[in-house]
Amino acid sequence: MKKSERASIVKDILDKFYPDTPVPLSHKDNFTLLIAVLLSAQCTDERVNQITPQLFSVASNPYQMSKIPVDKIFQIIKPCGLGPQKSKAISNLSKILVEKFNQKVPNNFVDLEMLPGVGHKTASVVMSQGFGIPAFAVDTHIHRLAQRWGLSNGINVRKTENDLKKIFPKESWNKLHLQIIFWGREYCSARSCFGLKCEICTTCYPKRSKPFVHKKP
């Protein structure tokens, strides 16, 4: 089976299971989305959604956030993990947004990735889910499933991103990003399926008999 055929199978099944793709992180605008995505690093979306209401009740825009002591931010977000780094990044990026961007979250990768704590994946999520600009953020779920489905060799997440962008239409990237994450959580997690059980794996590789070992990012 060709890679293009597997990609078509993946898209058809994901569209069937997830016709709608609500953004899993609670937010009210692009600033609160940016903060939520930053907090989600090495943390579940569920935990982030439990923490952000308290944080945003104290500060919900860059100016307010820039005025809060870093230690206060830390005390609120500590349950999300990596508290020292994340609290400093939130404080510093808020100050930069006030000083250089008139409190507006920039809508381009160059400026986004210059902000403290904002890497390419975080910027991609903000671009796609916040601004609706086509991007393909690759997290651990997507990196794992792209390998299980034979869509990328998994050398690194940037290679996985480029491989997926080549094989799927640009207008489908934003939705597919979420669909693959949902599938990875529900049917093809790191500790289940192993390329042998879920509908997509068995359809793409009906003769696979041994657990598939994916490369970690």
The pLDDT, as a whole number, for residue 154 is: 84
Q: How many CA atoms lie within 13 A of 5 on its CB side?
A: 5
Structural contact between residues 124 and 113, judged by C-beta atoms closer than 8 angstroms = no
User: Which domains, ranges and CATH numbers included, belong to the chain?
Assistant: 3-21+136-204 (1.10.1670.10), 30-130 (1.10.340.30)
Output the CA–CA distances (angstroms, integers) from residue 36 to 23, 46, 72, 126, 184, in the order listed.
11, 11, 17, 10, 20
133-144 in b/e burial notation, b at 16+ Cβ within 10 A? Answer: ebbbbbbebbbb
| Each residue's pLDDT expressed in tens, for the chain with a length of 217 residues | 999 999 999 999 999 999 999 999 999 999 999 999 999 999 999 999 999 999 999 999 999 999 999 999 999 999 999 999 999 999 999 999 999 999 999 999 999 999 999 999 999 999 999 999 999 999 989 999 999 999 999 889 999 999 999 999 999 999 999 999 999 999 999 999 999 999 999 999 999 999 999 888 8
Q: How far apart are the first and last CA of the chain?
A: 26
Are the beta carbons of 24 and 37 closer than 8 angstroms? no
Helix (H, G, I), strand (E, B), or coil: what is residue 203?
helix
Among residues 139, 137, 83, the alpha carbon closest in space to that of 113 is found at 137
- CB contact at 8 A, 6 and 150: yes
State residue 216's pLDDT score.
84
User: CA torsion, points 179, 185, 188, 193, in degrees to nearest 10?
Assistant: -170
Q: What is the pLDDT of residue 217?
A: 80
